[in-house]
Structure formats: C-alpha cells, structure tokens
Structure 1
Amino acid sequence: MPTPLSDLCRYPIVQAPMAGGAARPELAAAVSEAGGLGFLAAGYKTADGMYQEIKQLRGLTGRPFGVNLFMPQPSLADVTPVEVYREQLAGEAAWYESPIAELDPYGGSDDGYEAKLAILREDPVPVVSFAFGCPSRAVLDAFAKVGTFTVVTVTTAAEAQAAQWSGADAVCVQGIEAGGHQSTHRDDPQSDGTGAGVGLLCLIAQVHEAVQIPIIAAGGLMRGSAIAAALAAGASMAQLGTAFLATPESGANPLHKQALTNPLFTRTELTRAFSGRPARGLANRFLREHGPYAPAAYPAVHHLTSGLRKAAAKAGDAQGMALWAGQGHRMARELPAGQLVEVLVAELEVARAALNPGSGSGAEAGAAS
C-alpha cells in the first residue's frame, strides 16, 4: 500500500512539477531536503530523459519525491486551424530567424506515456501525479500495488469525483489563479480558454464536499498565510510553483525569473498562444498579438511555437517567451529553495497561531493532519 502523503514530508508544502525545465532535480532535492515534497516534471521529456532525472535526483537526496506525467491527448480532427495559425506566425519566424516546425497531427500527443508508466512501475517512486486528465483504474491500481501514492490534478468537483472513482489517492485542486497550464480534463475547442474559472478557496470547498480523499491546493500561493487559508478551507497540503520559480535551483530561464518582479509585466492572462491549451502567463507582446487567434490544439501548437520561444530566449527577448506565472508573481522571492521552505513554514506557523490562538499550532501538526 502507498505511504500516506502526510508521512512523506515534514511540512505540508509541495513544489509544483513545472514542465519545460524549471522543475529540475536540483530544485526537487532542495525542497525535499528542507522537509517539503519536491517534484520532477516528466512532461516534454522522453522516457529515458525522465529516468535519467530520477537517477540524478536520487543521487542528491534520499528523501521522498514525486514525478508528474501528462495524460495522452487526442489527435487533431481538423488541422486547418493550426495551419492557419502557423501562417500567422510567419512574421515571428522571420523576426527571430527561426523556422517553424512542420505540423504533425499525431506528433507528441501521448508524450511517451506508456513508456514512462512502464519505467515507474518497474522502478517505483514515492508519488506520481497526473495532469490533463485522469488515468484508468488499471493504471492507478498498478501503482498502488508497487506502493506509489497517486495524485490527479483537477479543476472542478466533477473531475475530482472521477479521480476518486478511478482510485486516485489524492487530488491536486488547481484554482484559476495558478500559473502555467490549466489541468482541465477536457479542453473545450469552442472556448477561447480565457473564460472565468473557479478561485482556489471556493474550489477547495466544493471539492472537499464532493470527495473523501486528501486535497492538495494549488493556485497563487506565495506566502505561508495563504497556505494556512488553503489548509483551513479543507486542503491537506499546498502546492507552489511560481514561488519556487525564482529560486537559484530552478531551471527557469534567467529572463523568466527576472520578469516575475519586473514592473514591465503588470499582469497575467490565460492564453492559448504558446501551446494551444489555456495557460496563465505574464502578458507580453507574443501573448497579446497571437492569443486571440490561437486554436484549441494542444500539443500541436506547443510544437509549432517551441523553436520560436527558444529563439526569443536566445535573443534575450522576454516579449517572445512563454513566461508562465501565477497571479501572485510579484510576490516572488529570490531565496534558495530550502530557505524558502523554511520561511514559508515560519509564516504558516504565525498564521495558524493567529487563526487558532492557544491551540498549539505547528507546521508539523499541520502536515500530520
């Protein structure tokens, strides 16, 4: 049987598995060593690439950690909208002197899912989480047999119920405030992806009434006081991504880290511009110019824009990069990841003492609750 989540780490703090290079082994190790739960992001990596990062992380820490997988996505039924979008990006290709990838309606849609599952079953890790959908009961049961704790990321109470029914050990509840991709289980192609979602505290309450499995809260959490609020609302743990993005252990591009607190970037928006799936990032030129026209076609659009984003980063132009960030980005602190965990825990203890005067609040007690 999997080890309960509360026994895997000292504090109720989870480092979000940020795909694209930010959640590298150094970051996960630092968080786990400090008493939180570090995560690797297997998304966009080959199965062997994932395995090599797991080996590297195990060499850095003996503490528990997690690995996040992307669920397979449907192939494109109609490539026309993506072809039109590709033509619209011609100016970007010329500006950055970078060719746009040819469209492959089948390429990368499964993200090496089966091969990654096979590795994680053969050589188990303490926690595996899933984004963009819910695995089958057979997959979740297989992980349970090897002692792996499973988490499904959800954005609605209905998705949480489906995850519980399928056998997930916990759900990660993602509020609309969260940076990066919205982990909806079904992306509505009729929507522009920027419509109103549900705020984290309200969503925690809805999910808390709908399921009986533990809840990990995610979305805009940057301070220990916000973590305390999420735990008081019904969550067992809190997952932070943007807060760890600015740490030296993060693999995010330096331009991305600087942009989090740069006065030039005043707000975030949900957009399909970079990947074809709704994701929250700092509002820059690329997002503003192309967001209104990007089709619902993930991961095809991701592969189309990948070379452009890399070229923009190489040119030192943050206006052409995908600057994923949650709504609390201006509160980012450039602290080492381990020290950030310590600061968050201290803030959490103060907030809990204020919420429950005389009750003996401790972050350790919260982790065990």
Structure 2
Amino acid sequence: MNLKELLGIDLPIIQAPMAGVQDHALAVAVSNAGGLGSLPCAMLSSDALQKELSAITRQTAMPYNVNFFCHVPPVPDPKRERQWRQALAPYYIELGIDVDNIPEQAGRRPFSHEAADVLEEFKPPVVSFHFGLPAADLMARIRGWGGKIMSTATSVDEALWLEARGVDAIIAQGLEAGGHRGSFLVRDISTQVGTFALLPLVVQAVKVPVIAAGGIADSKGVAAAIGLGATAAQLGTAYLLCPEATTSSIHRAALQSDAARVTALTNLFSGGPARGIVNRLMRELGPINSAAPDFPLATTAIAPLRAKAESQDSGDFSPLWAGQNVSGCKAVLAGQLTRDLAGANASIKAVI
C-alpha cells in the first residue's frame, strides 16, 4: 500500500510528535507541505486538546496525526519517592527550593475514553500510540470514524504484537531516536538496536507498512530507509530549530552547541528511558538511576529544579531531548524542511 492510500499524504515524511517542544503550528506546517504533521497529546487536558485540534482543522485540510501514550500508570511508592528526593536534595539546597512545597505534576496521561470523546468531534485521520496500544474498545472508536492506527515498536516481537492487534502501520524506532523509547514488551534497553538494523528485520517479519524512526537527519537518510523497505521516515530532532517549534532558547542553544554531539538514554526526567543531550544532572547522577520513580512519576521532583535553573538561563536540569544525529537540525521553515527531507530521489517517488 502506498502513502496516498494509507495516510493520504504526498511525501514520505512524518513529523514525530514531541511533547514540550511543539503545538499545532508545527503539525500544520508539515501537513500543508505534504507530509504528516503530528500533535503530541499525552500532556494535554481535554480543553487543551480541543483547542489544539480546532487550530489544526482551521489551518489545514490535509491529513494529520494525533499521538497518545498507552502506559499503565504506576502505583506511587512513597519510599522510592523519598529516595529520589534525597538524591536530589543537594540541588534543592543549591537552588533554594523548599522540598516540602513541591506541587504534584499532571504528568503524561494514557489514552482514555475522555480523550476519545474529544477526538470524535474532529475525527483525526491518523492516531498513533507510544508504549503499545489502548484497549480494544478504544481502538474500535477510532476505527468508527475511519481513523488509521499506528504504534511504535523497538523490536521484532513488539512489531508482531502490534500487527496481531490490527494496526495499519508500525513505526520501527531505533536506539538512535530522541525522546522516549516506545518499548512496551521488554524494558531492557541493552537489547535495543539501531534503526538500520531493526528496520529490515521488522519489514521482513510483518505485512503492514513500516515507518523508520531514529537517526534520520536528511534526504539521504530518508532514501536509505526507503531502500531498506520503509514506507516513510519519521523525524523529530530535525524539526527542533524550526520557527514553528516551541523549543526553548536553552534547548535551541544546546542543539547548536558541541554538547549535542553527546546524547544518552536517561530516566532522570520522567522515570522512563528517553534520549537527550547530556547535561549536568545526567553527568552527576548517571543517565540511568535506580532511585528515579517509574514513568512518569519522576517528573514531579525534577520540575522545580528545571524551572529555577531555566529562570537563570541554565539547562542543567532540563530534558534536552535529541537524537544521536543532529546534523539535519536547521533553523528553517518546517514546510521547506519537509520538502527538503523528501528530496528528489527516484526511490522515494517510486514509493509515493
């Protein structure tokens, strides 16, 4: 199945949904350029979700993607939370933060009937998921308005699991990708592999279209992914410097510095492994720290440190999400970047 039939898009480019660094503006720009713009929804309230979807549908008639998480919210563990705050105590003292007055954070929410109620008004053409899939009745609601369903796999086993549950496409996410791992069957990050090792294995194992994600930064990378059997490429890091992104000035500066050459998977900022530029907190506590509560509970204790440091123009406690390859990250309009990424390669046109 080609892209036009599957997703209704003209270019083999999907903009990765990136919570915290974008809103509807980036998604609209990519969709209007012929790619598939994506809106991250896991951190949006119902009211905020409705406002964002209203903005998208006012500004584009092209297909777009809404993305949700499917994690099972963990049961808070007071003992582990105390250990986590003890690990952060020197930083609270340094920045003058009262540890007893840290407010709870809303965090990231799994897809729910409440969210589906909002979506049904807009009937988004594509709904994608991270950390598996929602319950069958929620998937049936998406199918009811004709929506296509995609989800992320970080292994062949995850890809087969998704295919068995009827997804329309699978996003094969390699170890190089920025932001959170989409893994849900196995949490051991030491077993994960790079995009161009994972991609052909997934393509061979499943019959549904496969989208490559991770470490792809330019049109040559997109063409290479398609040459290995991908239907399209999903890119996030490349869009972080676009004017339509809401990337902070601190994050933008880090992406354009030598520091961006070194990224690592870390659980410090949310509790779940996610790739970002190595900063002070990661160096001093180690990128992976067993004291961090399970995803997404680690966020609460980190949030005041991040806010205070950022008010002083420091990214020492910020999640500076980025993939391993930042070479394609340029301060250009997202529409132009989307067209540049698609390029004029004959193999790309053949897939379209």
TM-score (norm 1): 0.87
Question: Aligned partners of 1:198, 1:341: CA distance in 2, in Å?
Answer: 26
**Residue of structure 2 in register with 1:279 after alignment:** 274
Q: Which range moves more in the overlay, 137-146 or 204-213? A: 137-146
Question: Aligned partners of 1:240, 1:35: CA distance in 2, in Å?
Answer: 14
Q: CA shift at 1:26, angstroms? A: 1.0
**Residue of structure 2 in register with 1:15 after alignment:** 15
Q: Which residue identity does 2:316 align to in structure 1?
A: Q
SS of structure 1 residue aligned to 2:18: coil
**Residue of structure 1 in register with 2:331 after alignment:** 334
Q: CA shift at 1:160, angstroms? A: 1.2
Q: Which residue identity does 2:10 align to in structure 1?
A: R
Q: CA shift at 1:77, angstroms? A: 6.5
Alignment of 1:240-255 (within 5 A): 240-255=235-250
Q: Which residue identity does 1:222 align to in structure 2?
A: A
- Unaligned segments of structure 2, at least 5 residues: none
Q: Is the 8 A contact 1:72 1:113 kept in 2?
A: no
**Residue of structure 2 in register with 1:365 after alignment:** 350
Q: Which residue identity does 2:313 align to in structure 1?
A: G
1:26-73 C-alpha deviation (Å, 9 max, x unpaired):
111111111111010002121221111111112222211110011142
Q: CA shift at 1:177, angstroms? A: 0.4
Question: Aligned partners of 1:319, 1:77: CA distance in 2, in Å?
Answer: 26
The runs of at least 4 aligned residues of structure 1 exceeding 6 Å deviation read: none
Question: Aligned partners of 1:145, 1:112: CA distance in 2, in Å?
Answer: 16
Q: Is the 8 A contact 1:140 1:168 kept in 2?
A: no
**Residue of structure 1 in register with 2:139 after alignment:** 140
SS of structure 2 residue aligned to 1:88: helix
Question: Aligned partners of 1:84, 1:282: CA distance in 2, in Å?
Answer: 25
1:194-244 C-alpha deviation (Å, 9 max, x unpaired):
x35211111111111221111111101101101111111111011000000
Q: Which of 193, 198, 208 is residue 198 of structure 1 equivalent to? A: 193
SS of structure 2 residue aligned to 1:329: coil
Q: CA shift at 1:180, angstroms? A: 0.5
Q: Is the 8 A contact 2:113 2:138 kept in 1?
A: no
**Residue of structure 2 in register with 1:313 after alignment:** 310
SS of structure 1 residue aligned to 2:146: coil
SS of structure 2 residue aligned to 1:239: strand
Q: Which residue identity does 2:279 align to in structure 1?
A: N
2:12 is equivalent to residue 25 of structure 1: no
Q: Is the 8 A contact 2:209 2:230 kept in 1?
A: yes
Q: CA shift at 1:99, angstroms? A: 4.6
State how many pairs are aligned: 347
Q: 1:330 to 1:89 in 2, by over 3 A?
A: farther
Q: Which residue identity does 1:313 align to in structure 2?
A: E
Q: Which of 312, 319, 322 is residue 322 of structure 1 equivalent to? A: 319
1:167-186 C-alpha deviation (Å, 9 max, x unpaired):
21111111000000001114
Q: Which range moves more in the overlay, 172-181 or 82-91? A: 82-91
TM-score (norm 2): 0.91
Q: CA shift at 1:282, angstroms? A: 0.4
Q: CA shift at 1:16, angstroms? A: 0.5
Question: Aligned partners of 1:55, 1:132: CA distance in 2, in Å?
Answer: 27
**Residue of structure 2 in register with 1:170 after alignment:** 169
Q: CA shift at 1:7, angstroms? A: 4.8
Question: Aligned partners of 2:5, 2:72: CA distance in 1, in Å?
Answer: 28
Question: Aligned partners of 1:243, 1:264: CA distance in 2, in Å?
Answer: 16
1:238-273 C-alpha deviation (Å, 9 max, x unpaired):
100000011111011121112112024430001111
2:340 is equivalent to residue 343 of structure 1: yes
Q: Percent identity?
A: 33
Q: 1:306 to 1:113 in 2, by over 3 A?
A: farther
The CA RMSD measured in Å over matched residues stands at 2.3
- Unaligned segments of structure 1, at least 5 residues: 353-360
Q: CA shift at 1:102, angstroms? A: 5.4
SS of structure 1 residue aligned to 2:275: strand
2:282 is equivalent to residue 297 of structure 1: no
Q: CA shift at 1:9, angstroms? A: 1.2
